[in-house]
Amino acid sequence: MKRRNFIKGMGLAGLSATLPFSLVEVAWGMGSKPPEHEPFTFAYISDSHLTHIKGTQFTRNFDQGLRKAVMEVNLMDPKPDFVIYGGDLAQLGKREELDHGLELLSALRPPLKWVIGEHDFYLDMGEYWQDKISPLHYSFDHKGVHFVVLNSILTYEDWIAQWPTPMERMLNMARLDNPKGSPFMVGDEQLRWLAEDLAKYDANVPVVVLSHSPLYKIFKPWNFWTDDAEKVQKQLQRFHRVTVLHGHVHQVLYNQIGNITFYAVMATAWPWPYPVSYVQKPNRVPKLTVFMNRADPFHQRDGTGWDILDLDSGAVTNHYQLWLNENRTVAFDFKLKHPVDLKYQDPDKRIPPQFHY
């Protein structure tokens, strides 16, 4: 393993002291499979939940999280080829919030790729997003890797139609523990598009799917759930290396289902608890996941952060940059055929209290 400083020669000694990140390059993780593409990095920022108060006022803490992410990405060396925004830029989908997010993100130097979240969508059903920001689903190729962006936060027409106003619909979707909530889905139309899109690619091409919600089922009461996830997984089965990156859950979370590796990315707004901490309902939190520690839950930035990912091995190596916790690296282990936390996977090596009361 080779370690190098992530910020170098920036003449920012004072600043770099407060930005404790370094990039760990995993050289041994490639196994017997040589990389078939030019290595590159991209960054991922997600779940900022910018909240409008009134006039030009926004919730300070959430603004600060996104500003910090933008600043850190701009200081990265090597520069990421692009940045993915993983959804939930706004809290209630208001134009004020989306415009404010665009303004804060306009300071980013690398180009942006957008994924829509439910908080951006359910006020106007994605109209403003499509006009001003991005299509809801699309795909692109980058240095030999096929990227697919899915809108995974669609839901059932009956649920959508029951609310008398757009804001009521938005508020009901925005509340995570809403017993009147509705599960997410990709939907048949998009699944047909996905089948056509993937048909053009050889099974050896590494595929990275970007969605807001996890494309598997974790915990329905909080909508850590995509109802037709299995249909998406089925379409991805024939590829040798598939990675799904998602936001929404605001925590370190990873899983392996068949050939598909799933990684959640951090939020810049606030951390969600792991569903195991709600004892009244059963959950399916992946056994692989080593929980994120919250040594100081009382600091605004604790339990939030962002990710930098590299595709050196054709599978994603995910560097979780936890702003007030030990940084974590989760990489695909070709022998075990699933991702492992390079430091904490062994239960004897965990730091107390890496579980929740």
Residues near other proteins (CB under 8 A)? 51-53, 59-61, 91, 175-177, 221-222, 270-273, 275, 277-280, 296-298, 300, 353, 356-357
| Residue 129 neighbours by CB under 8 Å, 6+ apart | 98, 114, 116, 120, 121, 136
The residue among 51 and 317 lying less far from other proteins, judged by its C-beta, is: 51
CA–CA separation, 68 vs 107, rounded Å? 11
The residue among 53 and 71 lying less far from other proteins, judged by its C-beta, is: 53
The residue among 82 and 323 lying less far from other proteins, judged by its C-beta, is: 323
The residue among 21 and 122 lying less far from other proteins, judged by its C-beta, is: 122
The residue type at 338 = H
The residue among 291 and 306 lying less far from other proteins, judged by its C-beta, is: 291
Cα dihedral: 127, 181, 102, 75 (round 10): -140
The residue among 30 and 171 lying less far from other proteins, judged by its C-beta, is: 171
CA–CA separation, 250 vs 269, rounded Å? 8
The residue among 119 and 319 lying less far from other proteins, judged by its C-beta, is: 119
Cβ 102 to other proteins, closest distance in Å? 20
Contacts 24+ apart (CB under 8 A), 130-133: 132/98, 132/102, 133/98, 133/102
Taking each helix axis from N to C end, the angle separating 60-74 and 95-105, rounded to the nearest 10 degrees, works out to: 30
CB atoms closer than 10 angstroms to residue 304 = 28
CB atoms closer than 10 angstroms to residue 332 = 25
Measure the CA angle with vertex 8, ends 6 and 13; round to 5°. 105
The residue among 1 and 53 lying less far from other proteins, judged by its C-beta, is: 53
CA–CA separation, 287 vs 218, rounded Å? 11
For 123, the 3-state DSSP assignment is coil
CB atoms closer than 10 angstroms to residue 214 = 27
Cβ 218 to other proteins, closest distance in Å? 13
